[in-house]
Structure 1
């Protein structure tokens, strides 16, 4: 069966009513199924995970993301520790089952064109859906954030791939992509000082010479007076959760701090756990429902 997964990230992690409204808009679309959604007040961000056949997944994404664009005003978005360029920050499409990457790319392109035009929002295609090499990596598109977007849109090199080429002050811009499943994995340290988390993140992320396919940031969790190593494992087949966790644990011990717990955002392929139980990773709020294969 051809199945496409969609995992939009919204720049709202504190207003439960807005998130419930977005979920209701998605629920009204037949043929798609919401598997998981979460909100984080420190990241000021919410992540939805839903699936459907290629012919329905775009309808679900349009309903949820258009509602989010209506409700989330980026002029009021303060205190976020996660990089973002818009209210609907990123919308990846992932092929599952018998679907191929081409199916996900087609869905991304259809959604991006419709979403950008209907909502007056600049859209950039990334990952396997990228139309130019300089836009393949998501951090390159996000560079400068929402605050730098108005100036960036004046540069002809950063004309959007879809939607209008002007700054939408209310909604910002949206990155739309196609990719394989990634693992959003956060590790909480036993300290309130940010430097250990930043040092660990710098040492493990690929862009700083660390582990392949790892993107990492050290971020404060002000609501808990703790810090976190926030990561995306963009290819868990090459660099597993176990490898990353073991590296963080060893580096944390050398810095005199401990790992308190870890968390997954969204769902995770079973193979990403690398044969280790959730207790190995000190995962909180974990159940078999978080395993992607169990939801298909």
Structure 2
């Protein structure tokens, strides 16, 4: 399954991205006869918001999946393209890949913490998490994807993982952001930690210089 996300980064809002996703999805379906599923903020029903749910079955199982009435595509034919399969198109917030390392080689502890942290297990909203073994370092990590940093902050995630780790007598020994992250996500984490009141992004010198009219 190919995925085509529209992400508001600068000088564009989410509503515009939702509109673009719908228009592009319709064009792809018409021009290439590929079934299109709208996901995340563009989803036509709540069951299609989560990309993992849309992808379930992958290429091999998609034909049978699409026989179900609830999995009729938003645009295009009712069966996968012979070579291209199906495509998911949607508007979403910037995704942040954030991993927290634990001072233990016990993968089960990381998995238990991941289950408590992720939204599907009753944890923080917009968080997907799983345990991963870092065998070369003899430690494990809670590996997470943040699908909307405005709903749960980096600081909140760190504090929750720390609290859960303490229950197992384990310390957090570091963390990492994989790839890019929005400046606002980092300043939000700092503001939460420092308990800043009425803090705004344009109080950061570099941000103010980039947007002097803000």
TM over 0.5: yes
| Mapping 1:1-296, distance limit 5 Å | 86=1, 88=2, 90-168=3-81, 170-220=83-133, 227-273=140-186, 274-276=188-190
Contact 1:120 1:164 in 2 (8 A): yes
User: Normalising to structure 1: TM-score of the pair?
Assistant: 0.54
SS of the equivalent of 1:95 reads coil
* Post-superposition offset of 1:133: 3.3
How large is the RMSD of aligned CA atoms in angstroms? 3.2
Contact 1:117 1:164 in 2 (8 A): no
Distance (whole Å) between structure 2 residues aligned to residue 263 and residue 146 of structure 1: 32
SS of the equivalent of 1:216 reads strand
Contact 1:124 1:175 in 2 (8 A): yes
Distance (whole Å) between structure 1 residues aligned to residue 134 and residue 74 of structure 2: 35
For 1:79-131, what per-residue CA distance to the aligned partner results, in whole angstroms no more than 9, with x for missing partners?
xxxxxxx2x2x322122333222210122123223334555543210122122
User: Normalising to structure 2: TM-score of the pair?
Assistant: 0.72
Q: Choose 157-166 or 195-204, whichever is displaced more.
A: 157-166
Distance (whole Å) between structure 2 residues aligned to residue 168 and residue 228 of structure 1: 38
Distance (whole Å) between structure 2 residues aligned to residue 257 and residue 121 of structure 1: 49
Gaps of 5+ in 1: 1-85, 278-292
* Post-superposition offset of 1:140: 3.0
Distance (whole Å) between structure 2 residues aligned to residue 116 and residue 227 of structure 1: 43
SS of the equivalent of 1:229 reads strand
* Post-superposition offset of 1:227: 4.0
* Post-superposition offset of 1:240: 0.9
Distance (whole Å) between structure 2 residues aligned to residue 101 and residue 234 of structure 1: 14
Query: How has the CA–CA distance of structure 1 residues 159 and 210 changed in structure 2, closer, same or farther, with 3 Å as cutoff?
Result: same
* Post-superposition offset of 1:204: 1.0
Query: How has the CA–CA distance of structure 1 residues 202 and 123 changed in structure 2, closer, same or farther, with 3 Å as cutoff?
Result: same
SS of the equivalent of 1:125 reads strand
* Higher CA-based Rg: 2
